[in-house]
Amino acid sequence: MKVLIPTDLSPTATSGLKYALSFLNNYKGGSIHVLHVVEKESMRGEAQDRLDALCALNHANHTTITSHITVGNFEEEIGAFAITHACNLVIMATKGVHGIQKLIGSRALKIISESTTPFIVTQREVHDDEVLDRIAVPITLEREDKKILSTVAAIAAPLKAAVLLIYEDKTDEFLAATISRNLNFAKSYLRQRGVQTQAIDVGHDLSFDEAIIKYAAAHQCDLIATVNHHNDGILNLFGAHFDQNILENGAHIPVLTVDARNHEHVNDIFMTTR
């Protein structure tokens, strides 16, 4: 597995590298590309020295770490680098969202919106012996959300990690049938790939994003996996900040997200056909 770690060389961003090392240790190896973006060519030399020192301090067995410096825009360079170097995953650390950023979207959400490569966003420090045992996956009304399942299966199957399929049952007969179809599809897809699954109805006492986070925290989930919907689809049903609330959850659970725009020809009442 090839993982990209964007870093601004801050203590927060450094925790993303630590998470990646722990993550790949579960897979008995892989490669890490650590990327720092500078605004001007004249800044490259000093940045390269700091980046090389960071990578040297975080050496791990079975994992190759390579440092890279590019010149340009931080948000745009990450997605382009991931494609050019055929990275399977981007792991990025964030401090969360504060104040006015809640109104305009966090930097993490903007960066993810520029990338077609799956992302894991983490807000916390990582323990060396950390193991990925449980993954929470929201099941919604949208066909595009099935896209997350292939990435979840690829992560969960080698580790024998359990996947908890979280859904909110509907009183409307049509919506309930849609949830049921998507839930059954997810169960079948994951079980065929050797992944243990369990379906959880979180009820209606909280908003769906709050219920997902609460359940995942209470059951010690190591990852929440969802789709980045941008401004379409599920946002119309569950609220304009659904994606952001999941990504920057108060329980500090890492979040795996996949770009919904890669799913073509989505046909349902909640999203325009592309």
Segments in the chain forming alpha helices (H): 11-25, 44-57, 74-84, 101-104, 107-113, 147-159, 173-192, 208-218, 234-238, 242-247
Q: Which amino acid is at 105?
A: G
pLDDT in tens, 218-229: 999 999 998 876
The two three-digit tokens of residue 190, written as one number: 């994951």
The two three-digit tokens of residue 74, written as one number: 């931080």
Check pLDDT > 50 for residue 115: yes
pLDDT in tens, 240-266: 577 778 888 889 899 998 876 654 433
Check pLDDT > 60 for residue 138: yes
Angle, CA 145 vertex, CA 140 and CA 151 arms, to 5°: 130
Residues of the chain with CATH 3.40.50.620: 2-122, 134-262
Query: What was the pLDDT predicted at 23?
Result: 82
Q: pLDDT band at residue 55, thresholds of 50, 70 and 90?
A: confident
pLDDT in tens, 176-231: 999 999 999 999 999 999 999 999 999 989 999 999 999 999 999 999 998 876 55
Q: Which residue has the higher pLDDT, 6 or 95?
A: 6
Phi, psi of 31 (to 5 degrees): -130, 145
Query: What was the pLDDT predicted at 271?
Result: 33
Check pLDDT > 50 for residue 238: no
| CATH class given for the domain over 134-262 | alpha beta
Other CB atoms within 10 A of residue 177 CB: 11
Q: Distance between CA atoms of 91 and 30, rounded to whole angstroms?
A: 14
Q: Distance between CA atoms of 212 and 225, rounded to whole angstroms?
A: 11
Query: What was the pLDDT predicted at 106?
Result: 62
Q: Distance between CA atoms of 9 and 1, rounded to whole angstroms?
A: 23
Q: Let me know if 136 is exposed, middle or buried by CB neighbors in 10 A (0-12, 13-18, 19+).
A: buried
Check pLDDT > 70 for residue 125: no
Check pLDDT > 90 for residue 235: no
CATH number of 2-122: 3.40.50.620
